[in-house]
Amino acid sequence: MTPQLGDRLKGTVVVIGAGIAGLITAYTLLRDGFEVQVLTRDAEAGGVWSQDRIYPGLFLNNVHGEYRLSPMEMSPLVERSDVRLGGQDLNKYTTAFASTFLKGKIEYGIEVHRIRRGPAGSGWQLEVLNRSTALPETRLYDRLVLCTGGCSAGFVPESLSPSAASAAGFHRIVCHSVDFGRKRAELLASVPEIGLEPSRTIPSIVVVGGGKSAQDICTYLANERRKVTIVCPDFDAFTARPKPLPDFIRKSRLLALLSPHIHLRTGLERFLHTTRLGKKIVNSWWNRLAEDSYRAAGVPADSPLRRAVRPFWHTRVNDEGVPRSNGFHALVSAGKVEVICPARVARYGRDGISVILEDGRSLPASAVVLSTGYRSSWPTIFDEETTKDLGLDPQPVNDTTTHQWKYTTLSNAPPLHPEAKRWSSTLYHGIVPAKHIVHRDLAVNGAVLSPNFGYTTEVTAHWISSYFLGDRFLRLPATSEEALALTEREAAWLRTRYPQIPTALNNSHTSYLAFWSWPQHVDDLLEDMGLPVMRSGGNALTWPLKVVDLKEISSLKEERDKKRAGKKS
């Protein structure tokens, strides 16, 4: 080891969070020689998959084998290879990962309250609380990786909050979906089961929202024989098929080929996204995907379930695989979940037993579950000054810089979300605040929305490690100004590609969107490190049908080691 590298390894990296992102970040940094300490407020690893958060009927969206990390197989932990994985499976996987690779490195039950710059203006000072003793403590670390998750803090509209409920005299259970795992036993105990005939005397459990969490919770409650009503302005889109799709379609880069990226790496992508014929092919493909999915799930043409976002333009898309007979869409068709859509719940009624919709309708409720989305997990741990200082806060959109992507597939876009019009995310690649880029002591993993979360966070972990190590081969903006300009360009791209998503406002979740184009984003990171891209192989024509396998990134450490050694000699 050269002295220079030794210097870079000095001190301790604190990783906040022990979900998928925290686990792979800690693992990667440890193997690269860093001293690492992981902190989590939870009693075990897993984050959203920890025992406190999961519940029966919570299924993973992804096809088997896709959502994992390369150092550990899903089997033999989880035997079945044909079905959807559930919350319990992911819990097993993440806790096993922690006990296999990170023994003694994770402190559980530690809540981080405040993060500031260290005393001499370098390093980090953390104020933490041991949750079992409630004793506060101050800790000092040299580097910091935020893996606090995009779905770890619930967004609760003021008018629907538990305090608004008690003010209105609504004393039944009100909880956000982040607390559903903890609250579900209490909730079930408070609402009677329906008899053979759905009883008109029992009010519904009202689930607010049309996303995956809302649908999963409705499904769980209906299967527990509770009367449930979902109220939402629209639904997540979904993909479904009568039979499992072959791996060369579902686990390949085919979907990514049909989604344009900030730059088009291949001839096939340039053909599809910049020509009129290409646009026709792409459009008809996406239209068919939606239509075939409705058909596979038995959703009639006039069903409110068709009030969904357009999958091409959005990240609110779930893969249902082969629809289950006790799944959400089937339960709606069977009348076991009542749907009120389009509609919004405005507030609690003055009678203390109902909620009032925006159109004035009153809906008796035996409980209310708020599946109203998530907010950033950062405002609670950084004060305003530190947020500004580090450049974690959203920036106003800079109108003087116009970026244009003349892609045929991007015409006829839906309107820009009003908040997306005003704010840009400031995290370069969704990893480092652009303003802070030269300091090499702060990074984020898990704030890039990706449907192959294990793959993207693993490659990101290597990028972060090279960034901390000062690896010369890592392509990086030289100044914060340059990083800001590149980040504004990325933000402009996201506004063009996913106009309905206000990325900057939920920045611990959506600092960057690598949704349909997650493989291209991963290739950008690999290219930054000077490593081979498009790792699933194939030639100029066959690459889109090659199955993506985590094995293809399992030796990134060795590849980076070799590059580092090569550069020195």
Ligand X SMILES: *[C@@H]1O[C@H](CO)[C@@H](O)[C@H](O)[C@H]1NC(C)=O
Ligand Y SMILES: Cc1cc2nc3c(=O)[nH]c(=O)nc-3n(C[C@H](O)[C@H](O)[C@H](O)COP(=O)(O)OP(=O)(O)OC[C@H]3O[C@@H](n4cnc5c(N)ncnc54)[C@H](O)[C@@H]3O)c2cc1C
Q: How many helices (H) and strands (E) does the chain have?
A: 18, 23
Q: Which two tokens stand for residue 173?
A: 């259970």
CB of 529 to ligand X, least distance (A): 27
- Residue 110 interacting with ligand X (CB under 6 A): yes
Distance CA 356, CA 79 (A): 47
Distance CA 9, CA 11 (A): 7
Q: Which lies closer to ligand Y via its Cβ, residue 41 or residue 226?
A: 41
Distance CA 517, CA 531 (A): 19
Q: Which two tokens stand for residue 418?
A: 């009003």
Q: Which residue has the tokens 């993909």?
A: 239
CB of 346 to ligand Y, least distance (A): 25
Distance CA 16, CA 141 (A): 12
CB of 318 to ligand X, least distance (A): 14
Q: Which does 19 bind (CB under 5 to 8 A by kind): ligand X, ligand Y, none?
A: ligand Y
* Contacts (CB under 6 A) with ligand X, residues 380-409: 398, 400-401
* Residue 149, phi-psi category: left (phi > 0), alpha (psi -120 to 50), beta (remainder): left
- Residue 379 interacting with ligand X (CB under 6 A): no
Residue nearest to ligand Y (CB): 47
CB 108 within 8 A of CB 102: no
Distance CA 386, CA 272 (A): 44
How many Cβ atoms are within 10 Å of 478's Cβ, its own excluded?
Answer: 9
Q: What is the DSSP string of 330-399?
A: HHHHTTSEEEE-S--EEEE-TTSSEEEETTS-EEEEEEEEE---B--SSTTTS-HHHHHHHT-S-EE--T
Q: Which lies closer to ligand Y via its Cβ, residue 213 or residue 517?
A: 213
- Residue 98 interacting with ligand X (CB under 6 A): no
Distance CA 198, CA 193 (A): 9
Which of 292, 389, 419, 559 is close enough to bind ligand X by CB under 6 A? 419
Q: Which does 130 bind (CB under 5 to 8 A by kind): ligand X, ligand Y, none?
A: ligand X
CB of 410 to ligand Y, least distance (A): 25
Distances (CA, A) of 79 to 64, 75, 76, 89, 453: 11, 6, 5, 10, 21
Distance CA 407, CA 369 (A): 41
Q: Which lies closer to ligand X via its Cβ, residue 287 or residue 398?
A: 398
Contacts of 82 (CB under 8 A, 6+ apart): 64, 244
Q: Which does 544 bind (CB under 5 to 8 A by kind): ligand X, ligand Y, none?
A: none
Q: Which lies closer to ligand X via its Cβ, residue 405 or residue 473?
A: 405
Q: Which lies closer to ligand Y via its Cβ, residue 269 or residue 458?
A: 458
- Residue 325 interacting with ligand X (CB under 6 A): no
Q: Which lies closer to ligand Y via its Cβ, residue 278 or residue 446?
A: 446
Which of 2, 99, 132, 190 is close enough to bind ligand X by CB under 6 A? 132
Q: Which does 127 bind (CB under 5 to 8 A by kind): ligand Y, ligand X, none?
A: none
- Residue 505 interacting with ligand X (CB under 6 A): yes
Q: Which lies closer to ligand X via its Cβ, residue 321 or residue 373?
A: 373
Q: What is the DSSP string of 212-225?
A: HHHHHHHHHHHHTT
Q: Which residues form the interface with ligand Y (CB under 6 A)?
A: 16-22, 39-42, 47-48, 58, 60-62, 67, 111-112, 147-152, 213, 377, 381, 446, 451, 453
* Residues 472-501, mask of contacts with ligand X (x by CB under 6 A): -------------x----------------
Q: Which lies closer to ligand Y via its Cβ, residue 20 or residue 305?
A: 20
- Residue 4 interacting with ligand X (CB under 6 A): no
Distance CA 354, CA 361 (A): 10
Q: Which does 373 bind (CB under 5 to 8 A by kind): ligand Y, ligand X, none?
A: ligand X
Distance CA 267, CA 460 (A): 26
CB of 22 to ligand Y, least distance (A): 5
CB of 133 to ligand X, least distance (A): 4
**Of 3-11, 104-112, 249-257, 537-545: span binding ligand X (CB under 6 A):** 104-112
CB 243 within 8 A of CB 322: yes
CB of 476 to ligand X, least distance (A): 19
Instruction: Output b/e per residue, 412-443; b: 16+ Cβ within 10 A.
Output: ebeeebeebeebbbbbbbbbbbbbbbeebbbb
Q: Which does 506 bind (CB under 5 to 8 A by kind): ligand X, ligand Y, none?
A: ligand X
Q: Which does 486 bind (CB under 5 to 8 A by kind): ligand Y, ligand X, none?
A: none
CB 460 within 8 A of CB 445: yes
CB of 451 to ligand Y, least distance (A): 5
CB of 152 to ligand Y, least distance (A): 4
CB of 541 to ligand Y, least distance (A): 29
CB of 233 to ligand X, least distance (A): 11
Q: Which lies closer to ligand Y via its Cβ, residue 115 or residue 363?
A: 115
Q: Which does 109 bind (CB under 5 to 8 A by kind): ligand Y, ligand X, none?
A: ligand X
Rg (CA), the chain: 24
Beta strands 124-130 and 110-117 are antiparallel
Distance CA 48, CA 55 (A): 11
Q: Which lies closer to ligand Y via its Cβ, residue 43 or residue 277?
A: 43
Q: Which lies closer to ligand X via its Cβ, residue 9 or residue 397?
A: 397
Distance CA 248, CA 252 (A): 5
Q: Which does 40 bind (CB under 5 to 8 A by kind): ligand X, ligand Y, none?
A: ligand Y
**Cis preceding-peptide flag for 246 (omega within 30 of 0):** no
Q: Which does 60 bind (CB under 5 to 8 A by kind): ligand X, ligand Y, none?
A: ligand Y
Q: Which lies closer to ligand X via its Cβ, residue 155 or residue 405?
A: 155
Which of 11, 33, 109, 538 is close enough to bind ligand X by CB under 6 A? 109
Q: Which residues bind ligand X (CB under 6 A)?
A: 107, 109-110, 130, 132-133, 155, 373-374, 398, 400-401, 419, 485, 502, 505-506, 509
